[in-house]
Structures are given as structure tokens and as C-alpha cells.
């Protein structure tokens, strides 16, 4: 053999797949990202990023379903500039804002979802088993264990069809759940671009009535295949069950509340119940009034409630928002909310934030308890949020002569004022209650009012934060569901 041939070496470069399988764990973790709404929707999109010595990055994206399917799909990109992460977020189906999390949390979410899915016979996507699982650290004691809740509130699986599965694939998933979880022990959500759902408990599902060609992505096609009279009977049964579980417009069964929301939306649209002229008139009035208020962006928490508190920090803010959200939750009972507020007060003491939550709960969940609200408010400085609570009580004691008078009195509160996002959110709720008189399901034109408020939030013309938009939307949709149910029984007394 010649000398030149003897000294010649061949450099073999690894394919991206082999690099991830064999070498990627040697790179340090750069950062991890997740969509902010993953807990609510149960569908985390997790970016795990490792950094090369050159400054370039390799990253894998894990599309996870903590409610049912585990790891639905994965993609990877090797040895690219860090800016490519933002490009991937912009180009991919990751519209929700992303936030940075620890690798330990990312790891635990992925493997908890895998374990939960395996209980019901679902295996991870082949790209995970063949390649991207090796981009993660080994699942052993070296990674601290973080408890991740999978399934719905009661631990049952909930299949969410967000368009990733074909109708045939979705039908197979439903059949698998019927075998492993049992009929009535799981739910599914059907999507047509918005959060629309239907619960498998209803017997209006992919059984004999719907047929094998039913398109799971459009629940209207499923409903259309059912006899109208039978469908109305089923709707009546669900609505009655919803009312049994409802106290002050809040339902203590999350899946039942979700199902009632879908049925209400379907029934309202199919029967053209909402007067769009009136709804549009209300929406224009609210848009004109709300857009006249100057907003300053200061996060999601009401900073005025925390000035004298030196302990708690970010944990306090997080716990405050969780407790505040519980007060407006359509799926928590009054006793559940009361327990949450007491827990907050025990943890942080009777600080201004805790007293405000107590006063807000007294006003929202027991409007007749003005003495309790006033007693609590008397211990707080004259913050704008406290003024709103007092204004609400004022309207109860001294009702306005008409809507014009109510509107004048409520808008006087914000004349020349600058509000934070949180204050604006509470002002909107107070405005709707005081101007339109929304205190129960018998309010005239409640459907049109709730629809106008909901559509105004969807339009995003007022540029409120995601938190404000979501909270106001929940408030509007909850009242619309209850009003729709009352209207249904009014039009169908025989049911």
C-alpha cells in the first residue's frame, strides 16, 4: 500500500438523526420554552434547546398531550443560529405566547404525559422513540421529580382533536378509550378552529347514531346526523343536569360545564336566538366607552394591593392570580372558592390582597351580603379597585333611573383616570353589572349583552393583555351559557 493511501483518513459526518441519538446529550442545555396556556388546554408545545461551543443551537420540539395521548409528535433542527428558534415559533403552530421554564419541568411534563398515555394504550410518536427521546436526559433519579397532573380535574382522560389527527385516526382513539377507560369514563373535545367540545357521556357520540364517516373536527356534522327531537331531549337532559350542579352561575363539574357551553353555542346559532342588531349596538357602546379609558401596562397583578408587603414575592403574585381566577371560575363551587381564599389568607396573613379577595368574593358570590363587603372594604385604603366594589353596592342601594343614568355614573369614575390592565378588567365587569343590570339570569337581553362582550374580547381591538381578555371572555361566556339554558326551557317548556 502506498504511503499516501496509508495516511489518508475519511471523515464521517453524522446525520442529524444520528447526532441527536449519539452526541446531543453532551451539549449543555441552553433553555427550554413552553406555551403559556398549556395547563388550561392540556397541549404543551415544549422546546428543548442545547448549545454548541460555536454558539449555534440544536433544538427539539415536543408536541405533548397531558390529557390523553402523551407525545403526539416531535420535530428537530440541528446546529443553527439561535434566531432560528424564533423563526420556528413564528412559522409553526405555536401562536400562544411562549415562556421559559426549567429543563427539569420540561422533562417531567414529557415523561408524565408518556406514562399517563401508556395507561390507556397510547404509544408515543415514532419520531420520539426513534430519535428525539435521546435528546432528553435519561429519565432517572438524576432529574428531580416534579409532580405533573395529567388528565382532567377528576383524573379522567380527555381527547382533544386539534386538527392533528384525521377523522379515521380520531375515531380509532375514541374506540381505544372505550376499551381502556370504559364508556362514560372519558371525554373528548372537537375543534373547528375555536374551543368547542362535546362530552362522550352524552350518548351523542361516535356510536351507532353518528356512523363511521363522522368528522370529529366538526361537531355540527355529528349533531346533524341525530334526529332533531332526540337531540333536543339530550340537550334538555344535559341542561337540567348543569343547573343541578350550578350555584350563582358557577358549575362544580368542569366537563359538564364544557359540554353545556358547546350545546348552548350550537342551540343559539342553529335557532338564531341572539338578536344581532341589539348585540352589535351593545358592542359599539362598550367599545366606545372602554376605548376612552387610558391604560398603563403594569403586568397582570394589581400592584396597589402589595405595597406594604415585604414577603411572598413572585409566589404571592402567582397565588393571588390563582385565587382571583378561582372567584370567576365557572367550574368551582362557592365552598371551593371560599377554601381557596382562606388558604391564601392563612399563607400570607390578612394583608390587603387577602382582604380584597374576601370582599370581591362576598360581592360576586353573594351580592346580597353588602354588610360583609362594606366591613371588609372599610379596612382597605381608597384604591380604585375598592371604589369599584363600593360602586357596585351603591347601584344595589340606589338603582339608576335608566341605562343612560347608569352609564353616566359609572363612566364618571374613570374620567381623566389612568388604569392598570387589572383595574380595567375589574372596571369592565363592574360596568356590565351596573349599566346592564347583570345580576342574575333574568336580566333583559342578557344573551345579547354577553354575546356583545364576548365578541368584543375576540376582536382584540382594545389591545388588552391575554390575561384580561381571557378573564372577561370567561365571565361573558359563563353568563351566556346560563341565559341560553333559561331561554331553551322558555321556548321548550315540555322538556
* CA 384 to mean position of chain CA atoms: 28
- pLDDT for 373 equals 75
Task: Count other C-beta atoms under 10 Å from residue 292's C-beta.
Answer: 10
Q: Encode burial over 131-167: b for 16+ CB neighbours within 10 A, e otherwise.
A: bbbbbbeeeeeeeeeeebebbbeeebbbbbbbeebeb
Rounded Cα gap, residues 1 and 9, in angstroms:
14
Position 231 scores a pLDDT of 77
Q: What local confidence, expressed as pLDDT, does residue 8 receive?
A: 40
What pLDDT is stored for residue 319 in this prediction? 79
Pairing of strands 187-190, 158-161: parallel
First to last CA, the chain: 95
Q: What are the distances in angstroms from CA 48 to CA 31, 91, 215?
A: 6, 17, 34
Threshold 0.95, pTM exceeds:
no
C-alpha radius of gyration, the chain, whole number: 26
C-alpha cell at 205: 357520540
What does the alpha-carbon distance between residue 461 and residue 287 come to, in Å, rounded to a whole number?
8
Sorted by sequence, the CB contacts under 8 Å of residue 454 that are 6+ apart come out as 473, 476, 477, 480
- Confidence at residue 323, expressed as pLDDT on a 0 to 100 scale: 84
Strand bridging mode 70-80 / 250-251: unpaired
pLDDT in tens, 75-95: 888 888 888 888 777 765 554
Secondary structure of the chain in HEC code, one letter for each residue: CCHHHHHCCCCCCCCHHHHHHHCHHHCCEEEEEEECCHHHHCCCEEEEEEECCCCCEEEEEEEEECCCCEEEEEEEEEEECCHHHHHHHHHCCCCCCEEEECHHHHHHHHHHHHHHHHHCCCCCCHHHHHCHHHHCCCCCCCCCCCCCCCCCCCCCCEEEECCCCCHHHHHHHHHHHHHHCCCCCCEEEECCCCCCCECHHHCCCCCCCCCCCCCCCCHHHHHHCCCHHHHHHHHHHHHHHHHHCEECCEECCHHHHHHHHHHHHHHHHHCCCCCHHHHHHHHHHHHHHHHCCEEECCCCCCHHHCCCCCCCHHHHHHHHHHHHHHHHCCCCCHHHHHHHHHHHHHHHCCCHHHHHHHHHHHHHHCCCCHHHHHHHHCCCCCCHHHHHHHHHHHHHHCCCCCHHHHHHHHHHHHCCCEEEHHHHHHHHHHHHHHHHCCCCCCCCCHHHHHHHHHHHHHHCCCCCCHHHHHHHHHHHHHHHHHHHHHHHHHHCCCC
Q: Do residues 197 and 261 make contact, with C-beta atoms less than 8 angstroms apart? A: yes
**Burial (CB count within 10 angstroms: exposed 0-12, middle 13-18, buried 19+), residue 9:** exposed
The cell numbers describing 440, all together, are: 342574575
> Cell 441527536, residue?
20
Q: Is residue 85 packed enough to be buried (19+ CB in 10 Å), middle (13-18) or exposed (0-12)?
A: buried
Torsion angle, alpha carbons of 9, 10, 11, 17, to 10:
-150
pLDDT tens across the length of the chain (495 residues): 444 444 443 333 457 888 888 889 999 999 999 998 888 778 899 999 999 998 889 999 999 999 999 999 898 888 888 888 887 777 655 545 789 999 999 999 999 999 999 999 999 988 898 899 999 999 999 999 999 999 887 788 988 776 677 766 777 888 888 889 887 788 776 543 333 333 333 333 333 333 333 333 345 555 655 667 777 887 888 888 888 877 656 666 666 777 788 788 888 888 889 999 999 999 999 999 999 998 876 666 676 676 544 455 556 777 787 788 878 776 566 777 888 888 888 888 878 888 888 888 887 765 556 677 778 878 777 788 888 888 888 887 788 888 889 899 999 999 888 888 888 988 998 899 888 876 655 678 889 999 999 899 888 788 888 778 888 888 888 888 888 998 999 888 876
Give CA–CA dist 394/150, Å, rounded.
45
CA 288 to the chain's CA centroid: 28
From the centroid of its chain, how far is CA 40?
Answer: 4
Q: What would the grid cell of residue 227 be? A: 334526529
CA angle 236, 241, 481 (to 5 degrees): 70
What pLDDT sits at residue 7?
44
Amino acid at each position: 500500500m502506498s504511503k499516501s493511501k496509508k495516511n489518508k483518513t475519511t471523515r464521517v459526518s453524522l446525520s442529524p438523526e444520528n447526532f441527536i441519538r449519539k452526541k446531543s446529550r453532551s451539549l449543555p442545555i441552553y433553555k427550554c420554552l413552553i406555551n403559556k396556556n398549556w395547563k388550561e388546554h392540556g397541549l404543551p408545545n415544549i422546546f428543548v434547546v442545547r448549545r454548541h461551543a460555536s454558539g449555534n443551537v440544536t433544538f427539539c420540539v415536543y408536541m405533548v398531550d397531558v390529557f390523553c395521548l402523551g407525545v403526539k409528535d416531535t420535530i428537530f433542527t440541528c446546529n443553527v443560529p439561535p434566531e432560528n428558534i424564533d423563526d420556528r415559533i413564528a412559522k409553526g403552530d405555536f401562536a400562544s405566547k411562549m415562556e421559559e421554564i426549567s429543563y427539569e419541568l420540561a422533562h417531567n411534563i414529557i415523561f408524565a404525559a408518556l406514562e399517563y398515555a401508556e395507561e390507556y394504550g397510547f404509544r408515543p410518536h415514532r419520531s420520539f422513540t426513534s430519535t428525539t427521546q435521546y435528546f432528553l436526559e435519561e429519565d432517572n433519579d438524576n432529574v428531580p421529580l416534579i409532580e405533573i397532573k395529567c388528565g382532567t380535574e377528576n383524573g379522567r382522560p380527555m381527547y382533544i382533536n386539534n386538527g392533528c389527527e384525521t377523522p379515521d385516526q380520531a375515531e380509532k382513539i375514541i374506540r381505544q378509550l372505550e376499551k381502556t377507560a370504559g364508556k362514560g369514563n372519558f371525554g373528548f373535545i372537537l375543534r373547528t378552529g375555536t374551543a368547542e367540545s362535546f362530552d362522550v357521556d352524552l350518548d351523542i357520540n361516535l356510536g351507532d347514531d353518528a356512523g363511521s364517516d363522522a368528522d370529529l373536527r366538526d361537531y355540527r356534522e355529528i349533531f346533524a346526523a341525530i334526529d332533531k327531537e332526540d337531540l333536543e331531549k339530550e340537550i334538555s337532559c344535559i341542561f337540567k343536569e348543569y343547573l343541578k350542579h350550578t350555584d350563582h352561575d358557577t358549575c362544580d363539574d368542569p366537563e359538564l360545564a364544557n359540554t353545556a357551553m358547546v350545546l348552548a353555542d350550537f342551540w343559539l346559532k342553529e335557532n338564531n336566538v341572539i338578536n344581532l342588531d341589539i348585540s352589535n349596538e351593545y358592542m359599539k357602546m362598550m367599545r366606545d366607552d372602554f376605548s376612552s379609558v387610558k391604560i398603563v401596562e403594569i403586568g397582570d397583578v394589581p400592584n396597589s394591593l402589595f405595597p406594604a408587603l415585604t414577603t411572598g414575592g413572585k409566589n404571592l403574585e402567582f397565588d393571588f392570580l390563582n385565587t382571583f381566577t378561582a372567584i370567576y371560575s365557572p367550574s368551582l363551587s362557592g365552598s371551593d372558592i371560599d377554601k381557596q381564599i382562606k388558604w391564601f389568607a392563612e399563607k400570607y396573613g390578612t394583608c390587603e390582597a387577602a382582604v380584597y379577595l374576601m370582599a370581591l368574593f362576598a360581592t360576586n358570590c353573594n351580592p346580597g351580603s353588602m354588610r360583609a363587603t362594606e366591613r371588609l372594604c372599610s379596612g382597605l385604603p381608597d384604591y380604585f379597585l375598592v371604589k369599584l366594589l363600593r360602586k357596585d353596592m351603591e347601584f344595589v342601594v340606589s338603582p339608576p333611573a335608566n341605562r343612560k343614568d347608569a352609564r353616566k355614573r359609572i363612566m364618571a369614575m374613570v374620567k381623566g383616570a389612568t388604569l392598570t390592565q387589572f383595574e380595567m378588567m375589574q372596571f369592565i365587569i363592574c360596568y356590565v353589572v351596573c349599566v346592564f343590570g347583570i345580576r342574575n339570569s333574568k336580566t333583559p337581553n342578557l344573551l345579547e349583552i354577553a354575546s356583545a362582550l364576548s365578541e368584543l374580547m375576540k376582536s382584540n381591538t382594545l389591545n388588552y393583555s391575554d390575561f384580561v381578555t381571557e378573564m372577561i371572555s370567561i365571565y361573558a361566556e359563563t353568563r351566556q351559557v346560563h341565559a341560553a339554558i333559561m331561554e331553551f326551557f322558555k321556548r321548550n317548556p315540555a322538556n
